[in-house]
Amino acid sequence: MKRNNVLYAFVFGLLVMSMLLTACSAAATPTAETTAAATTATTDTVVPTLGPTDTAAPTNTAAPTATTAPTATAASTSTPTNAPTATVPPAVCAKLADAPTVAAGALGSPDKPITIAFVPSGDSGTIATASSAIADCLNKMTGLTYTIKTGTSYAATIEAMGAGQAQVGFLNTFSILAAQAKYGIIPALINLRNYATNDLDPDKALKGQLEPFYRGQFIANTASGIKTFADLKGKTFCFVEPLSTSGYIVPRIILKAKGIDPDKDFKATQNAGSHPNVAIAVYKGDCDAGVTYIDVLTDASANLAKTYPDITDKVKIFAVTDRIPNDGVQYVKTLDPKIQAVTTEALLAMSTDPGGKVVLAKLYTINAFQKIDAAFKMYSDFSAVLKAAGVDPTSLIK
């Protein structure tokens, strides 16, 4: 009986060992497959569950690469954003019936083009693009040849006209008065704009109406603590440049009237070169305060919010200037009256054409033109105000 029990135990042990060996050999197979799978699927961090070969099937779940379908959604969203650009009509630059003809070598011929001078009051790239488009359109409409020149400063633009290097000008207001007094240039058109305003402007009811005047504004970085003119003393201040009407001339008159000597009472001053540059300098804290036209912070041509989305939070307006006549288009007095007339006619036609309006708006936010005649007194009246304040336009041209 005892011997039988030993036999049974021996047989039972053999069975157990046999089962264990079978189990071990079965487990070894997946290990080999796992190694193979691991080398191929390392990028998928599914290594922990690599055991079952079937889990490779979820690689088919990479079929949710169909989730690249959202790229399709991205494509559809981008189409609408680009669509508005397509709706902007090109400028219609049809040749005028009374377009003159000029002899070879005469002013207005391809080898002796008429030069249009522009002041650097905004973004240089925008001015270059828009002014080129204006010259191209004038070429087609008049049959004459025009070229463009943007001055390195307001004074350089005046001097280009005075020296006969430019025959047509898009000068700012103060430069018009200076060039008129010094060189006898002829104002032909005044720019009309949809009136831009702010909450401090007494003319804010005129918002959006076409007007031949504008105002300047005093701005400050909110961190500077400036809220009134009295707070300006001992601070840093940004002007545009010495011949800027709303960015230098008029503000200095106002500052003096408020008891602030701009040459002595500021910690430091700088000329930023353009109205957008002043706003950017105040935004960045390079200047505590500054002065620009209304309202450079939200003006479409300056488009500062694109680069500085919080600019209206960090920069605040604390005062406005008096009314200032708008800038415009002028001719040197020696320019042939027929060329003056056809250039004026072409610019007026551009200002009524939808595509032409877009080009003019890009330049200096020009929405329309008003022809200047003998009854026009805005420039002479403004000049009298400046002279009464002790400002002589010609004395500031260096």
Domain boundaries, the chain: 26-62, 114-196+327-396, 216-322
CB distance 360 to 351 below 8 Å:
yes
Cα dihedral 282, 287, 292, 298, rounded to 10, equals 0
pLDDT digits (tens, 9 = 90+) for 255-290: 999 999 999 999 999 999 999 999 999 999 999 999
DSSP state string for 39-69: HHSTTSS-GGG-SSGGGGGGGGGGGGGGGGH
Spatial CB neighbours of 227, under 8 Å, sequence gap ≥ 6: 220, 318
> Does the pTM exceed 0.85?
no
User: How far apart are alpha carbons 95 and 92 in whole angstroms?
Assistant: 9
Give the pLDDT confidence score for residue 40 in this predicted structure: 36
Cα dihedral 174, 177, 181, 186, rounded to 10, equals 130
User: How far apart are alpha carbons 187 and 184 in whole angstroms?
Assistant: 9
Which one-letter amino acid corresponds to residue 195? Y
pLDDT digits (tens, 9 = 90+) for 167-216: 999 999 999 999 999 999 999 999 999 999 999 999 999 999 999 999 99
CB distance 122 to 301 below 8 Å:
yes
CB distance 219 to 279 below 8 Å:
yes
Band of residue 398 on the pLDDT scale cut at 50, 70, 90: low
User: How far apart are alpha carbons 252 and 255 in whole angstroms?
Assistant: 5
The 268-271 sheet, strands edge to edge? 268-271, 236-239, 289-293, 216-221, 315-320
Q: Pick from 24, 25, 32: which is nearest to 50 by CA?
A: 32
b (16+ CB within 10 A) / e for 122-154: bbeebbeebbebbbebbbbbbebbbebbbbebb
pLDDT digits (tens, 9 = 90+) for 345-361: 999 999 999 999 999 99
Q: How many CA atoms lie within 13 A of 355 on its CB side?
A: 13
pLDDT digits (tens, 9 = 90+) for 50-100: 333 333 333 343 433 434 344 433 333 334 444 445 577 899 999 999 999
CB distance 148 to 132 below 8 Å:
yes
Work out the end-to-end distance of the chain between its first and last CA atoms, rounded to an integer number of angstroms.
132
User: How far apart are alpha carbons 362 and 152 in whole angstroms?
Assistant: 20
**CATH H-level, domain 216-322: superfamily:** Periplasmic binding protein-like II (3.40.190.10)
pLDDT digits (tens, 9 = 90+) for 102-131: 999 999 999 999 999 999 998 899 999 999
Band of residue 18 on the pLDDT scale cut at 50, 70, 90: very low
**Domains 114-196+327-396 and 216-322 fall in the same CATH topology:** yes
Give the pLDDT confidence score for residue 86 in this predicted structure: 56
SS3 state of residue 242: coil
Mean per-residue pLDDT, 18-35: 38
Q: For domain 114-196+327-396, give the CATH number.
A: 3.40.190.10
Mean per-residue pLDDT, 372-379: 96
DSSP state string for 154-168: HHHHHHHHHTTS-SE
CB distance 386 to 249 below 8 Å:
yes
